[in-house]
Structure 1
């Protein structure tokens, strides 16, 4: 799991403005382990997304199932989802965010589907 954080303690970076991602291994019980910090070239400057930089960010976190950010635009959400990465938007301490997300990922409905997109419910018109 990738986390956008400037200080390593708090989820505090917009996906397109993230200068780094902290990478964690997270299990569904809420246990997690920090693996590494990956430097990133932000893909959004002045409100405009740079597709080349966005592809660079994708390559940087492509081995992650999910990314936690403080904010993310609709275009970036659709881009990540279409590339198999689940985006989550929350502003919290990283410890809390990882534990909460692990619990959320462990919740399944009667058909066995994991409800992963509850946090992004503010977005309308997204095609998940």
Structure 2
């Protein structure tokens, strides 16, 4: 069961978080270049839809962690905290910022915010791979 949960967790991360990070990163440049065009609306929709689908990532992650008995490990708690911060940045800052940019074409802080969002996800990914204190030898 653990292998299935871990597989679903990794697949959800690739399928959901990958498109959000790419679309969110592209949005500011497209907004500066093209204003409020169809491509901008498409990138915003990708962020909204895949952001919601991305909820599956921590759900499968917590189920996997429970199955492995690592729910109290520092690396996991740190990953959970960083994931929460990333989700808040996406939901409270990036997506509303994109909505404003769709109206007025201004994507003022979105480049910085998406950079922070992507850095948080990269950090979580490294923590998931390295897992300090792991007995796998990785």
TM-score, normalised to structure 2, is 0.26
Larger RCO, structures 1/2 (Cα 8 Å, 6+ apart): 2
Greater CA radius of gyration, 1 or 2? 2
Identify, as 1 or 2, the structure richer in strand: 1
Identify, as 1 or 2, the structure richer in helix: 2
